[in-house]
Amino acid sequence: MREISAYAAEEEQRVLSLKPVLAPVHGKYGDHPHQVYDAWPAEDPEAPLVVLLHGGYWRYDRMHLTPFASWLAKQGFSVLLPGFRRSGGAGGYPETFDDIARIVGTLPEGRPYVLAGHCSGGHLALWCAARALLPADSPWYTTSLPPAVLALAPLTDLRATRRDRLSNDAALQLLGGPDLFEARMPYVDPLTLLKGPGTTGVRTVLLHGAVDEEVPLSQFTDYATVHDDLETVVLSGIGHYTLIEPGAPGAIAVADTMRRLAPAQGNQHSS
């Protein structure tokens, strides 16, 4: 059983117990009940668009991220928070990845955007950036990649996630168990996909707290070792969950980084 400090336990309880915030707009991107999204549109049509992939070790729903999504909208972003089929229910491999591919392929509607994700959502965002590195016969292979990715305290290495038995063997559950794990992992593991190529070609920032006790810090450093042009932002004194706590110093740093990434899309829609 992994031991965490009283600080980390209090942080987790405080952030995950925030009351969910109802979005002003809801929509669907598919027929399954989980293929839905919440939206907080900005009044300014030129506001940066953020597509936010929630964490929860691929098995929990997006409600814990609604306070953060609503807060981001107040910081001047248009925010899309999609649901997707999840482990332990309708999802896992391949359905979770099918849904993420559909989300990034349809929801931005051709607009420049930042793809952001927290924890396991960060894993999915990094995977999206690496899809051009997949074998060409993979159904997820594409050269149409996100303009920019912001991975917040992401899980980057599924083999290490399995080894450390994070969240009660969440990585094994995602990939369908020990018999299927090794065969499936090369198609969905960001660290494995980056070994050799060294870059996805997508501007990518990995942001994490220096005192994160939820995801081992080695996940961040090991990924940075194989991603040659990765930008890493380390926040001193910040844990795992305050990155998504409305108004907290970690969340303010996240919003500032999103603003910095948004112009990297080249304002390509302006005339």
Q: What is the pLDDT of residues 75-107, one digit of tens each?
A: 999 999 999 999 999 999 999 999 999 999 999
Burial of 26 (0-12, 13-18, 19+ CB in 10 A): exposed
Return the pLDDT at 266. Answer: 46
Say if CB 124 and CB 117 are below 8 A apart.
yes
pLDDT digits (tens, 9 = 90+) for 150-198: 999 999 999 999 999 999 999 999 999 999 999 999 999 999 999 999 9
Instruction: Name residue 244's amino acid.
Output: I
Enumerate residues 6+ apart whose C-beta is below 8 A from 231: 203, 204, 205, 206
Burial of residue 171 (CB within 10 Å: 0-12, 13-18, 19+) is buried
Q: How confident is the model at residue 264 (pLDDT cuts 50, 70, 90)?
A: low
3-state secondary structure of 141: coil
Residue linked to tokens 């991603």: 227
Rounded Cα gap, residues 95 and 263, in angstroms? 32
Euclidean distance between CA atoms 145 and 76, whole angstroms:
24
Complete domains list, the chain, with CATH: 6-265 (3.40.50.1820)
